[in-house]
A = this chain, B = another copy of it.
Amino acid sequence: FSWVARMATDDYVGFTFFVGCMAMMAAAAFFFLSMNQFDKKWRVSILVSGLITFIAAVHYWYMRDYWAANMESPTFFRYVDWVLTVPLMCVEFFLILRVAGAKKSLMWNLILLSVIMLVTGYFGEAVQRDQAWLWGLISGLAYFAIVYIIWFGEAKKLAQTAGGAVLKAHKTLCWFVLVGWAIYPIGYMAGTPGWYEGWFTGLNMDVIYNIGDAVNKIGFGLVIYNLAVQASND
């Protein structure tokens, strides 16, 4: 057996890492095992939902132990996770909008913006913490560009063309990006120095990020799952 760290009963950070890890594993199993229940055209989307939660499960396994061993934020692993999973979420937008003729360029634009958002965020959080506000600002601009494209831009128009269950799912995903993803900048401001210091004192950055990940990764996947169920019933 391997050495097992004792977990303090009031270690809420450790608790969210642990629950998050297990929830991601279960979600990945759920998506992987469900994919063949659906019509061919939905299978890739469900598979990608499974990959997003699977990647997260592996990173949470790591981050949970990292936290238990060092009692320190596993920022590095978190960004490794995001830089893989957030582009995959952009792929999901593209996949469901393919029925309306979405072009690959839409996907690549979203992916590029998400990578800019995350790389600049990492710089602010881990490399140039004194300038966290500036890097956060640049990151935020890329975030707004994503929000714009899906809420009002090209993606919105494609969703309207598709109509029906796809339009409804697209709308829900848009709310996830606007409200669910907004959890992350809050965690960032709670965990970095800057003129916004004190806005979110008392909140723990890792707990915020962990809640955000559970909501966004599993929730996003369930929206796609639900879309496949709806579309199969039509």
Q: Which residues of A contact B (CB under 8 A)?
A: 1-7, 9-10, 15, 18-19, 22-23, 25-26, 29-30, 32-37, 40, 43-44, 47, 50-51, 54-55, 58-59, 62, 64-66, 68-70, 72, 75-77, 80-81, 83-84, 126-127
For A37, the chain B residues whose CB sits under 8 A away are 40, 43
Instruction: Give the number of copies in the complex.
Output: 2
- B75 and A55 form a contact (CB under 8 A): no
- A3 and B6 form a contact (CB under 8 A): no
User: Please, which residue of chain B has its CB at the minimum distance from the CB of A229?
Assistant: B44
Extra 13 A-B pairs, beta carbons < 8 Å, given A25-B54, A26-B84: A1-B3, A1-B4, A4-B66, A9-B75, A9-B127, A19-B83, A22-B81, A25-B58, A29-B54, A30-B47, A33-B47, A33-B50, A34-B47
Contact of A65 among B2, B18, B19 (CB under 8 A): B2
Q: How far is the CA of A10 from the CA of B55 in the complex (A)?
A: 22
For A23, the chain B residues whose CB sits under 8 A away are 84
